[in-house]
Amino acid sequence: MKILVAGDHFVTPALVASSLPSGVDVSSLLLPWPYEPFGPIADVDEASGDESELIAALDGVEVAITQMAPFTSRVIEAADALRLIVCTRGGPVNVNLAAATKRGIAVCATPGRNAPAAAEHTIALILAALRHIPDVHGTVRAGEWRSDLYALNAAGRELSGTTAGLVGYGAIGARVARILRAFDASVLVYDPYAEPSEGFVSTLDELLGRSSIVSLHARLTAETRHMMDAAALSRMPRGGLLVNTARGGLVDYDAVVDALESGHLGAAAFDVYDPEPIPAGARLLTAPNVVLTPHLAGATVQTAERAARLAAEVVTAYAAGTPLPGQVNP
């Protein structure tokens, strides 16, 4: 079996190759991400690399493993021997799924590979925003000792005893819920596509109205785009915290800045934006009471190692002729 590992500087070719079963013929291609930003390439999104270079590397290849390579319709049509694409991320946004399905090429993803990392980053953002950690850190670095921040009107808030609402209950949302409960927070969940369990509510409006913290863990679809707009934000209790580590398109960021400036929203913490990177001069960059990280929630060593291991499990199943984990097309 000839395998191409089109890795990058996070999920590296060497890391993936070291996880694969013995007896396979492995070649590699190194993509420039994250040292060069990913983006749309032809008819796919969030991709890195060059179509022509990928086509050349796929000559005679039966299985391709990648996180970012642009599997466009042009690439797929040119890859005569290709039978399986393993995309080491939650969804194959860099693969033209229709073109692959038409060619009879199976496409698999590795859902959950970054769930522990993204869940922990979500909690870190919540704590940083509640306790004003970035701002306070800056004052100490500047040589200040702000004991006045002990004043009641400047003090932070505890996570214990709060009600946190989670929008979306997949692998990440479910893990965030478990961690929040360990902090003695009450957890509400809105997800019309998940099996109801503890804390589920029937409407988004109910969750927003009862939650002092709202954290987003939904996929971006036509239904969910800008779900957190001015009307939704107005339903949150005054002084609430909004957190987004899912997809930037879930949030109307101008509405968030308006709510922060008016004081209706007490704080916000974001890892994702629309567009990315944040444009120079964007209002969000100067808004009060925000904590911002550059789409790094999944950036841990363990995420990369887990992605490589899950990809190897798909290859093992393919070689054995058994059902493929994470398959996303017929």
Supply the angle between the helices 171-182 and 115-130 in degrees, to the nearest 10.
50
Best CA proximity match to 87, nearest among 303, 310, 272, 295: 310
Of the residues 217, 247, 306, 313, only one is catalytic, namely 247
Catalytic: 46? Answer: no
Q: Long-range contact list for 95-99, CB < 8 A, 24+ apart?
A: 95/44, 95/71, 96/43, 96/44, 96/71, 96/72, 97/328, 97/329, 98/73, 99/72, 99/73
With the CA atoms of 65, 69, 75 and 78 taken in that order, what torsion angle do they form, in degrees rounded to the nearest 10? -40
Is the distance from CB of 314 to CB of 108 less than 8 angstroms? yes
Q: How is residue 107 written in tokens?
A: 């496409």
Q: How is residue 46 written in tokens?
A: 């969030």
Catalytic: 217? Answer: no
Report the amino acid identity of residue 291: V
Of the residues 181, 295, 305, 309, only one is catalytic, namely 295
Q: How far apart are CA 111 and CA 115, in angstroms?
A: 8
Q: Which residues contact 210 (CB under 8 A, 6 or more apart)?
A: 163, 165, 188, 201
Of the residues 226, 276, 283, 309, only one is catalytic, namely 276
3-state secondary structure of 292: strand
Is the distance from CB of 215 to CB of 165 less than 8 angstroms? yes
Direct distance between the N- and C-terminal alpha carbons of the chain, in angstroms, rounded to an integer? 22
Catalytic: 295? Answer: yes
Best CA proximity match to 75, nearest among 91, 56, 60: 56
Q: Give the H or E element holding residue 181.
A: helix 171-182
Q: Give the H or E element holding residue 89.
A: none
Active site residues: 247, 276, 295
